[in-house]
Structures are given as structure tokens and as C-alpha cells.
């Protein structure tokens, strides 16, 4: 009789929950999905942020980064996603959830930090950009410095810089950049490139003197580096425009 009274309790005792059942509960699946989404956004959003900061027109830079992120998305699917799924299949995410969150986010977080570190090793401000692309320093007495930075990622570079300095410093800059004089240059025939949404090889009208009489042009075609350099000086020899573009 006593065994009969205890038997229902034994029959309805809760069965132990294995790791697969625990991991497939709705709450656990949702947490894992959010971790995958965060991993995807970290991995693919790094270059979008980088390009938006580096371009003068941040919206154009962001669009360039978004287009490039399509390629990064395939890399994430091929490399990061399998690793995440393997961790999920191997380990329970019931204990120490913060630890496993960091493990699953680690590859994308490392990539994100690597891309963001470029903002410190190659600062996005215009003076640093001028030094990086021309391999020359701005003259110490330069003034009224302006820049329009365009390009990077999938887009060709088309950077333009304007400043004022002494004729002697312009001469030194021409030597450092190893430019040649364009003796056939006619300012009246200078054609400025235009973009449908944003001019990228132009400056404000009161600064762009390239079509004015007396303007001189110097240039260099660096095929190995995929760079084309131009330097313009006005008639007084105290104003300069430097352009760096992809060939």
C-alpha cells in the first residue's frame, strides 16, 4: 500500500534537462540571436564608422562604408558565424552568461577595435591626410588651410588641399613631392571634375584660382602607388592648391 501511494510521485517526477534542451529554450535562443546580431553589427559597422569620419562629406563616406560592408558580411558568414555556432553546439550557455557573451563577441570585437585603431595610427584630420598622401609636411607658416577629403574603401581618392604660404616654401614642397612643371598648361582650359551629389575636386569659388591667368601647374604620375599629384600656384606664388587622386 505504501509503495502504491509513492508510485504516482515517482511517475510524475521531473526528468533531468539535458544541455541541448536547455540551449533550445526560447529565452536561450533569443539571447543567442541577439549575440549573433551584435557580432554582425560590430564586424560590419567598423568600416562604416571609419569612412564616415574620414570623408569631408560624412554621408558619402557612410554610403561607401555600407557598400563595402557587403563584402565584409560574406567574410563574417564564412568565418565568424561558424565559430559562433560551434561554441553554441559545444557548450551550455546556462552558467556564466557574461563569459560566453564575450567569447562569442570576441572575433567581431577584435576586428572592430583593429579598424578603430586606424583613427589613431592614421588620424582622419586634414593636416594628417596631407602628410600621409603627399609625404610632405605643411609649411610652418601656412595659413587658411582648407581641405576636401573624398575617397577610401571602394571609392577612388580625390583629395584637395588649399593653403597660403611663401613662394620659397612652395618651391620646397614641389621638390619634396618630386613634381614636374606643366609648361603647356593653360588655365583657361582647366576642367574641374564634378560629382552628381558632391563636388570633390573643387573648393569655394573665392579660393579656387586654377582658371585664373598666371596660374602654374606641376604634376607627377605615380603608377606603382596608384596616385596622381597636382600642385597649382597663383600668379603671386603665395597660394597653392594640391590635389591627390587615384589613377
The number of residues in the chain equals 247
The DSSP secondary-structure symbol of 153 reads: T
Q: pLDDT band for position 93 (50/70/90)?
A: low
- Reading the block at residue 186, the C-alpha cell is 593653360
Per residue in 29-66, pLDDT (tens digit) is 567 888 899 999 999 999 999 999 999 889 989 998 99
Q: Give the residue, 21 or 160, on which the prediction is more confident.
A: 160
The mean pLDDT of 176-181, rounded to a whole number, is 96
* pLDDT per residue as tens digits for the range 116-147: 999 999 898 899 999 999 999 999 899 999 99
- pLDDT score for 188: 79
* Rounded Cα–Cα distance for residues 247 and 232 (Å): 18
Distance set, CA 15 to CA 10, 11, 18, 27, 95 (Å): 10, 10, 9, 20, 20
The span from the CA of 5 to the CA of 11, in Å, is 11
Q: Domain locations in the chain?
A: 19-121, 126-246
Most confident of 6-15, 177-186, 191-200: 177-186
Amino acid at each position: 500500500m505504501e509503495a502504491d501511494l509513492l508510485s504516482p510521485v515517482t511517475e510524475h517526477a521531473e526528468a533531468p534537462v539535458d544541455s541541448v534542451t536547455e540551449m533550445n529554450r526560447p529565452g536561450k535562443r533569443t539571447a543567442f540571436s541577439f549575440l549573433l546580431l551584435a557580432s554582425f553589427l560590430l564586424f560590419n559597422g567598423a568600416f562604416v564608422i571609419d569612412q564616415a569620419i574620414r570623408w569631408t562629406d560624412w554621408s558619402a563616406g557612410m554610403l561607401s562604408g555600407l557598400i563595402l560592408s557587403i563584402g565584409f558580411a560574406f567574410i563574417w558568414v564564412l568565418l565568424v558565424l561558424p565559430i559562433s555556432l560551434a561554441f553554441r553546439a559545444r557548450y551550455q550557455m546556462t552558467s556564466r552568461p557574461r563569459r560566453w557573451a564575450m567569447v562569442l563577441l570576441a572575433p567581431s570585437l577584435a576586428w572592430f577595435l583593429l579598424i578603430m585603431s586606424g583613427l589613431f595610427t592614421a588620424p582622419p584630420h586634414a593636416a594628417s591626410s596631407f602628410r600621409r598622401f603627399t609625404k610632405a609636411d605643411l609649411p610652418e607658416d601656412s595659413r587658411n588651410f582648407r581641405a576636401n577629403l573624398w575617397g577610401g574603401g571602394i571609392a577612388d581618392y580625390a583629395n584637395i588641399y588649399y593653403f597660403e604660404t611663401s613662394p620659397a616654401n612652395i618651391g620646397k614642397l614641389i621638390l619634396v613631392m618630386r613634381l614636374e612643371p606643366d609648361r603647356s598648361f593653360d588655365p583657361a582650359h582647366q576642367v574641374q571634375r564634378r560629382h552628381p551629389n558632391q563636388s570633390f575636386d573643387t573648393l569655394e569659388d573665392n579660393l579656387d584660382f586654377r582658371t585664373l591667368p598666371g596660374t602654374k601647374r606641376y604634376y607627377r604620375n605615380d603608377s606603382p602607388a596608384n596616385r596622381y599629384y597636382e600642385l597649382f600656384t597663383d600668379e603671386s606664388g603665395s597660394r597653392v592648391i594640391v590635389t591627390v587622386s587615384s589613377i
